């Protein structure tokens, strides 16, 4: 079963500037896919479209079996809330909340009661190895720990796919290695991961690497 399907997806910005040109990709459940490519190649645009944060100019997107083309904003929000987990380079943690509450935020828009959110958050924190830091605020955590919290937030809702945009972009090499190990471990546990990265180590660890250039797929390790 596919966790994500992009069929003939193009994205043009006013100009016109083509960020993506007829990209077709299927990410199967359980895959660990890395999208690599030079800056401006369309990696982040592809991730945003895959995550329904942006609509393609043409083409179709299916997330966990659901065709999202033309869905209204509220339905797209529902898709993101229930089927997609995001991890960003800048972590985007709320500084006034503890690690546990930051993770619980991942379930805020599912209509889940607070106590249940916190239980799921505690489980997710345990998965990323940060149970002992649940009560700490982001300022008290290292960069690597912050990103682990962000990953736990993405995991908390048990999404069909985790989309990560440069998850090691703000980390030193040791912390990057830790995050890479965590992603690989989560993948071994069954999580489907699509990661946009410049980090060759992540690309090396992924089960599949897609190289983009000028909005087109230049190379897909699976196709090769």
Partner 1 sequence: MKPLSCPAAGPPPRLPVSRLRAADTWPLALLGLVSRPARAALSAVGVALGIATMVAVLGVSGSSRAQLVAQIDALGTNLLTVAPGQSFGGQDVTLPPSAPAMVARIGPVIGASAIGDVNAQVYRNDRISAANTNAITVYSADTGLLRTLQGQLARGSFLNAATARYPAVVLGTDAAAALGVDRTGVLLWLGHRWFGVIGIMRRLPLAPELDRTALIGYPVAQRLLHATAAPVQIYVRANPASIAAVAAVLPATADPAAPQNVSVDDPITALTARADASVAFRELFLALGAVALLVGGVGIANVMVIAVLERRAEIGLRRALGARRLHVAVQFACEATLLAGCGGVAGAVLGGFATAVYAAARHWDAVVPVPVLLAAAGIALLVGAVAGLYPSLRAARLVPAEALRLG
Which stretches of the chain bind partner 1, using CB under 8 A?
A: 5, 7-8, 22, 24, 44-45, 48, 51, 53-54, 59-62, 65-67, 69, 71, 73-75, 77-84, 86, 88, 90, 92, 94-97, 105-106, 108-114, 153
Rounded to the nearest angstrom, the gap between the alpha carbon of residue 203 and the centroid of all alpha carbons in its chain is 15
DSSP 8-state secondary structure symbol assigned to residue 113: -
At closest approach, how far in Å is the CB of 52 from partner 1? Answer: 9
At closest approach, how far in Å is the CB of 174 from partner 1? Answer: 26
The C-alpha atoms of residue 147 and residue 89 are separated, in whole angstroms, by 8
DSSP 8-state secondary structure symbol assigned to residue 138: G
Which tokens go with 196? 């946009």
Which tokens go with 204? 């090396």
At closest approach, how far in Å is the CB of 79 from partner 1? Answer: 6
The C-alpha atoms of residue 189 and residue 211 are separated, in whole angstroms, by 25
Minimum CB distance to partner 1 smaller for 78 or for 143: 78
Query: Is the four-CA dihedral 64, 66, 68, 72 of positive or negative sign?
Result: negative
Minimum CB distance to partner 1 smaller for 4 or for 128: 4
At closest approach, how far in Å is the CB of 102 from partner 1? Answer: 10
Minimum CB distance to partner 1 smaller for 29 or for 82: 82
Minimum CB distance to partner 1 smaller for 9 or for 134: 9
Query: Is the four-CA dihedral 185, 160, 149, 203 of positive or negative sign?
Result: positive
Which tokens go with 129? 């190895």
Minimum CB distance to partner 1 smaller for 80 or for 205: 80
> Which run of H or of E encompasses 122?
helix 114-127
At closest approach, how far in Å is the CB of 190 from partner 1? Answer: 20
């Amino acid at each position: 079963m596919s966790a994500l399907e992009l069929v003939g997806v193009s994205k043009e910005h006013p100009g016109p500037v083509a960020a993506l040109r007829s990209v077709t990709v299927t990410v199967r459940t359980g895959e660990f896919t890395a999208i690599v490519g030079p800056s401006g190649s369309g990696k982040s645009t592809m991730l945003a479209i895959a995550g329904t944060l942006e609509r393609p100019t043409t083409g179709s997107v299916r997330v966990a079996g659901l065709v999202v083309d033309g869905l209204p904003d509220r339905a797209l929000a529902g898709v993101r809330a229930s089927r997609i987990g995001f991890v960003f380079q800048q972590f985007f943690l709320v500084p006034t909340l503890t690690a546990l509450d930051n993770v619980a935020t991942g379930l805020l828009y599912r209509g889940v009661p607070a106590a249940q959110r916190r239980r799921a958050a505690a489980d997710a924190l345990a998965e990323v190895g940060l149970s002992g830091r649940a009560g700490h605020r982001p300022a008290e955590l290292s960069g690597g720990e912050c990103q682990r919290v962000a990953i736990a937030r993405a995991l908390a809702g048990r999404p069909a796919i985790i989309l990560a945009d440069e998850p090691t972009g703000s980390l030193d090499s040791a912390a990057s290695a830790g995050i890479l190990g965590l992603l690989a471990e989560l993948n071994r546990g069954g999580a489907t991961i699509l990661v946009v990265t410049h980090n060759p180590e992540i690309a090396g660890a992924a089960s599949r690497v897609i190289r983009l250039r000028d909005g087109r797929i230049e190379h897909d390790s699976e196709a090769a």
